[in-house]
Structure 1
Amino acid sequence: MTRDHRLDPLPPPPPAYRWAVLVFVSLAMFGNYYVYDALGPVIDLMREQLGFSYRQIGLLSTAYNVAALLVLLAGGIFIDRFGTKKAITVFALVCLAAAVLTALTPRYETILAGRFLLGLGSEPLIVAATTALAKWFKGRELSFAFGLNLSISRLGSASADWSTGFAAPLYGNWQDPLWLATAVCGITLTAALLYWMMEQRAQRHYQLGPTEEAEKLRLRDLYAFSPSYWYIVALCVVFYSTVFPFRTFAIDYFQQAHGLDRQAAGLLSSLLPMAAIVITPLFGLWVDRVGRRSFFMAAGSLVMLPLFLLVTYAPPGPDIPLLVPLVGSATVPLTLLLVMLVLGAVFSLIPAVMWPSVAYIVDARRLGSAYAMMTLCQQLGWAVVPLVIGYLNDAFRASPDHPGGYAAGMWFYTALAALGLVFSWLLYRSERGPHGHGLETITMHSAAERIHDRG
């Protein structure tokens, strides 16, 4: 009797194939992050050459978040129905079209539409990329793959800041840097198409395993979420509503309020994503070993509290050389350098602890709803703050001739940081009490024993 080899199970994909997939998915994310952050370095040019107000600039950021909210409410239906290879390619096309639309014309309405379209493509691209990695990696490799993907993605953000140096000749007008971002977005589409071809081939030759279901928001499950979960959600909202809008305006702020040139301001702003690239995985490994998650969230919130007032009122100190290898160098005031380094550390610590902590608090059956609700609330807060900062800058006549006009915005960031400290302290108190979920005590070793016992 001969055996029908067509019935033999397909082998799993070899490691080299999987890591090549990771590279292409991450490159797609690299271009996506670059396009989003390309707005920051041209804010002053848009104000000078196009006459945009800070309020209009803030609305450009908010338009992205509103579109993202619409996508989150729609859930992962498209990804579920058409698969990751088609989803990543379609959303990459949307991002490329958004980049073209943003750079195409000086009309404010067209640029606003471009940023809205970017929100429609960028957020589901992130979900599709996450779903793809979940399909290709499992076990201990999954966390490492996600970490590498995040590092390469954040490199896109840093590169947008660095473009003020390596692409300095383009910054004679507002449009050329955005056309550069459009070209970089071509990497996103190219990587998406290469991923499509790799998955298409793998489906014929390898066993990929089940695809994790895309997250959907189930409002009926919200009753089961504990106060600790909602404290984390509140911290998430105020933390990202502080850091991301600050990054949007940072290069312009350093130029207008502190007199830095564009390259120095870009290098200084890039310290935030650079820290996330390097330090976030290290913080994650550390906290997995020692526990104390709610304590570290509170500690990070406390450290962040005075930073925005320091950049406003503290003496600038002596000029210090800042060198980013292969990118450029500049001299920046010591106070600004120290504040950005500390903020970069906080930007690495809190996310490294906050997002995994939800998995210890929420039942696994409701984890998708928990993360979807957390992201939805994050986008709501993030949508509002740029409008507020733009309004405050305009209302207090912020400009190089009146740098004190930027102080109101810095006080608003400080108020948000204070709220973050309140929520993180409430979380710490809750987790130290009789109804804690183990955020203070669970370590890598005890979590493994817990999973084994449940199995």
Structure 2
Amino acid sequence: MAAPAERAYYRFLVLFFNCMVTFGSFFCFDIPSVLQDQFQGNLTCYNGTLTNHSKVCVEGLGMSPQEYNLLYAIYAWTNALVVIMAGFLIDKLGNRFGLFLFSFLTVLGSSIFALGSHFKGTPYLLPLMLTGRLLFGSGNGSLTIVQNRVTAFWFKRKELALAFGLTLSFSRLGSVLNFFFTQQFESRYGIQWTLWGGTILCVLGFLSAIVVSVLDKVGMKQLGLDGAIQEESKKVRVQDIRHLSLRYWLLVLTIMFFYNGIFPFVADASKFIQDKYDGYDQKTAAYIAGAVYDSALVLSAVVGILIDYIGMRGVLALLCAVFTLPVFALLAFTYVPPLVSTIWLGVTYSFAASSMWPSIPLVVPQATLGTAMGLATSVQMIGIGLSNLIVGAILGSKSSEDKIPLWRWQRMMIFMLANTIACIATSVTLNVVDKKQGGTLNRMSKRSPEPQAESRDDSERSPILNEEDDRHLD
């Protein structure tokens, strides 16, 4: 009789709790985006006070645009520094170690971030909140690597893109709920309790991480793979980085340039919509900005199934970049309703996330997947961190109590366009190299047979999950 871990329901049970690991942390990540007015609002307000533009005074933490964008930049820079070592440690010490450590860091970081909000008007506010984002970034970026590693193990050659798509959907469900409910919650209970609410959701992720660890441990023992994986982990060395293929590095750059146009935009989208378009209050602007994640939530699973069937990951990566170009052009040079652009961006984001990230396990060995994911995340976050700093400089260092001039917003969108063009260039090169090296990324998954192991490049072989092992996961 087959062990439970050999059944399909078991790996989907692992997937469910694995998805919940980052639900709360993704909710927390974009709380500042929804409450940008409060983060940059006045330290004190008097009833009936109006600004120069007849806008009701918003009481908040008193941050400048540069300080606000620094909250996102410090998150990105921390990821860039930490995830490389985190990926290596995960490869050496295993998924369970990573799940516990990094989910705990998200709880600790979100707690210090919330604590910092109690010190508004003092010199301690910004250092405390930056420290919280630093620890939160150390945990959340690294936690995503463990999450992807668990998913890649249980679903390699078995609904891989679907599994990655569902993981993205659950994560983005946290983001979507944040954009729908955070502003209402803050208006009733205040910014401090709102941030502590995000911390409670991170605790939910920590508990889910414990469940995944138990399921992963039990399942590997039932499959008889626990010992083999530990042996392979002992062989992992930092020097293995030099064996990562050109396709891997091109894929990493493609991911970086694409995400450079997503996260920095979403971070400032609510403020941008209120400044450029007439008739949008903070609540409505937050809903429209959140449509990027709404689309990803709805489409990611369906897109994952489609990609599992047709393959063509390299081509889809290129098409995502090409079809993202009009989004920032519309935002920069037209007054087309912003909801059109945010939904459009969400669609291309869904295809990009479901085609780019699941491609990494196809071009690196399983034993070094954590290191490869860590490097990819690091490069991605270096790009996002630089983008956040550049966007902050473009938007200016003065208080955002009043509207930011539209010419500054236009320059920001042109910067987003430049990143998208760079993404097109790297994805074209990726497809050319992939074709010369066997076309792994663009293989039509359900129609074309897998290549013979002897003909595949050594850097792409999985030392753990071969075809014989896959039979355990039917």
Q: State the secondary structure of the residue aligned to 2:443.
A: coil
Equivalent residue in structure 1 for 2:201, among 184, 204, 208: 184
Matches for 1:146-185 after TM superposition, within 5 Å: 146-164=164-182, 167=185, 169-170=187-188, 173-185=190-202
How far off its partner does 1:204 sit? Answer: 11
The answer for the alignment partner of 1:73 in structure 2 is 84
Look up the equivalent residue of 2:225 and give its one-letter code: G
Name stretches of at least 5 consecutive residues in structure 1 with no aligned partner.
1-7, 317-334
Equivalent residue in structure 1 for 2:388, among 371, 375, 386: 386
Write out per-residue CA displacement over residues 331-374 of structure 1, whole angstroms, 9 at most, x where no aligned residue. xxxx2121112111111122322234455666788766554433
How far off its partner does 1:388 sit? Answer: 0.7
Equivalent residue in structure 1 for 2:225, among 209, 214, 225: 209
The answer for the alignment partner of 1:53 in structure 2 is 64
Contact 2:295 2:350 in 1 (8 A): yes
User: Alpha carbons of 1:197 and 1:237: their partners in 2 closer, same or farther (altered >3 Å)?
Assistant: closer
User: Alpha carbons of 1:167 and 1:283: their partners in 2 closer, same or farther (altered >3 Å)?
Assistant: same
How far off its partner does 1:139 sit? Answer: 5.0
Matches for 1:30-179 after TM superposition, within 5 Å: 30-48=23-41, 49-76=60-87, 78-79=89-90, 83-105=94-116, 106=120, 107-134=125-152, 139-140=157-158, 143-164=161-182, 167=185, 169-170=187-188, 173-179=190-196
Write out per-residue CA displacement over residues 29-64 of structure 1, whole angstroms, 9 at most, x where no aligned residue. 111211112221122211112221111122111211
Note if 1:303 corresponds to 2:304.
no
After alignment, is 28-37 or 123-132 more displaced?
123-132
The answer for the alignment partner of 2:44 in structure 1 is none
After alignment, is 177-186 or 141-150 more displaced?
141-150
How far off its partner does 1:116 sit? Answer: 0.1
Where relative contact order (Cα < 8 A, 6+ residues apart) is larger, the structure is 2
Q: State the secondary structure of the residue aligned to 1:115.
A: helix
Write out per-residue CA displacement over residues 292-343 of structure 1, whole angstroms, 9 at most, x where no aligned residue. 5444333322221232231233134xxxxxxxxxxxxxxxxxx212111211
2: distance between equivalents of 1:280 and 1:130? Answer: 15
2: distance between equivalents of 1:80 and 1:229? Answer: 18
After alignment, is 131-140 or 25-34 more displaced?
131-140
2: distance between equivalents of 1:193 and 1:445? Answer: 35
2: distance between equivalents of 1:64 and 1:407? Answer: 25
Look up the equivalent residue of 2:34 and give its one-letter code: P
TM-score, length of structure 1 as denominator length? 0.80
Look up the equivalent residue of 1:33 and give its one-letter code: F
Equivalent residue in structure 2 for 1:252, among 252, 271, 287: 271
2: distance between equivalents of 1:47 and 1:447? Answer: 54
User: Alpha carbons of 1:69 and 1:37: their partners in 2 closer, same or farther (altered >3 Å)?
Assistant: same
Aligned-residue identity in percent? 24
2: distance between equivalents of 1:358 and 1:86? Answer: 22
Matches for 1:377-416 after TM superposition, within 5 Å: 377-394=379-396, 399-400=402-403, 402-416=405-419
Name stretches of at least 5 consecutive residues in structure 2 with no aligned partner.
42-59, 456-466, 468-474
1: distance between equivalents of 2:244 and 2:145? Answer: 25
How far off its partner does 1:103 sit? Answer: 1.1
CA-based RMSD of the aligned residues comes to: 3.5
User: How many residues align structurally?
Assistant: 425
1: distance between equivalents of 2:137 and 2:353? Answer: 21
Matches for 1:239-388 after TM superposition, within 5 Å: 239-259=258-278, 260-290=280-310, 292-316=312-336, 335-358=337-360, 370-388=372-390
1: distance between equivalents of 2:364 and 2:103? Answer: 32
Contact 2:73 2:386 in 1 (8 A): yes
Contact 2:106 2:202 in 1 (8 A): yes
How far off its partner does 1:83 sit? Answer: 4.6
How far off its partner does 1:452 sit? Answer: 7.5
User: Alpha carbons of 1:264 and 1:216: their partners in 2 closer, same or farther (altered >3 Å)?
Assistant: farther
1: distance between equivalents of 2:275 and 2:106? Answer: 30
How far off its partner does 1:383 sit? Answer: 1.3
User: Alpha carbons of 1:130 and 1:405: their partners in 2 closer, same or farther (altered >3 Å)?
Assistant: closer
Write out per-residue CA displacement over residues 182-222 of structure 1, whole angstroms, 9 at most, x where no aligned residue. 1222211232344456567x479945633586797845653
User: Alpha carbons of 1:152 and 1:287: their partners in 2 closer, same or farther (altered >3 Å)?
Assistant: closer
2: distance between equivalents of 1:346 and 1:142? Answer: 19
2: distance between equivalents of 1:373 and 1:416? Answer: 20
User: Alpha carbons of 1:418 and 1:337: their partners in 2 closer, same or farther (altered >3 Å)?
Assistant: same
The answer for the alignment partner of 1:443 in structure 2 is 444
2: distance between equivalents of 1:204 and 1:221? Answer: 26
How far off its partner does 1:278 sit? Answer: 2.9
How far off its partner does 1:109 sit? Answer: 0.6
User: Alpha carbons of 1:176 and 1:144: their partners in 2 closer, same or farther (altered >3 Å)?
Assistant: same
